[in-house]
């Protein structure tokens, strides 16, 4: 229905959801948010096939795979801890309390949201190192 309406009326949607299979199906571009901050933005194929931010990687690893052969090789990334309250957000990178790659710099400053590849933006101090 959304796609029909989009074609008939020439609409642009801002579709907010937690079900990544639905998001992937309906979107041409995906923005991933954590604690109210955008941490990654890219085309749907790019972000699903080459996620750069540790949070996006964890989200993508949790998407159920319909093909059992693909699913068996998929390594799920489990995040430790709970999402902090936005009223008491951590210093620096908002994801640092759950990030397996967090370092001192992550506590000191908010990572810049920058273009890491053409039209692929990420907010992570260590995106170059971990990808």
Give the footprint of ligand SF4 on this chain (CB under 6 A): 53-54, 93, 95-96, 99, 101-102, 106, 111, 124-126
Q: Is the four-CA dihedral 17, 20, 21, 24 of positive or negative sign?
A: positive
Of 42 and 124, nearer to ligand SF4 (C-beta) is 124
In the complex, the smallest distance separating the C-beta of residue 33 from ligand SF4, rounded to whole angstroms, is 13
Q: Is 24 helix (H, G, I), strand (E, B) or coil?
A: helix
Of 26 and 77, nearer to ligand SF4 (C-beta) is 77
In the complex, the smallest distance separating the C-beta of residue 63 from ligand SF4, rounded to whole angstroms, is 20
Of 25 and 100, nearer to ligand SF4 (C-beta) is 100
In the complex, the smallest distance separating the C-beta of residue 19 from ligand SF4, rounded to whole angstroms, is 23
Asked if 96 contacts 23 with a C-beta cutoff of 8 angstroms, the reply is no
Q: Which residues contact 11 (CB under 8 A, 6 or more apart)?
A: 5
In the complex, the smallest distance separating the C-beta of residue 86 from ligand SF4, rounded to whole angstroms, is 16
Asked if 86 contacts 36 with a C-beta cutoff of 8 angstroms, the reply is yes
Of 49 and 112, nearer to ligand SF4 (C-beta) is 112
Q: Which residues contact 65 (CB under 8 A, 6 or more apart)?
A: 71, 74
């Amino acid at each position: 229905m959304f796609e029909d309406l989009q074609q008939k009326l020439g609409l642009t949607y801002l579709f907010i959801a937690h079900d990544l299979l639905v998001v992937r199906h309906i979107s041409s571009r995906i923005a991933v948010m954590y604690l109210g901050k955008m941490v990654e933005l890219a085309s749907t194929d790019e972000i699903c096939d080459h996620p750069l931010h540790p949070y996006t990687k964890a989200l993508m690893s949790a998407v159920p795979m319909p093909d059992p052969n693909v699913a068996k090789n998929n390594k799920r990334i489990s995040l430790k801890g709970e999402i902090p309250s936005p009223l008491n957000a951590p210093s620096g990178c908002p994801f640092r309390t759950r990030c397996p790659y967090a370092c001192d710099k992550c506590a000191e400053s908010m990572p810049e949201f920058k273009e890491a590849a053409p039209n692929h933006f990420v907010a992570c101090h260590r995106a170059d190192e971990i990808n």
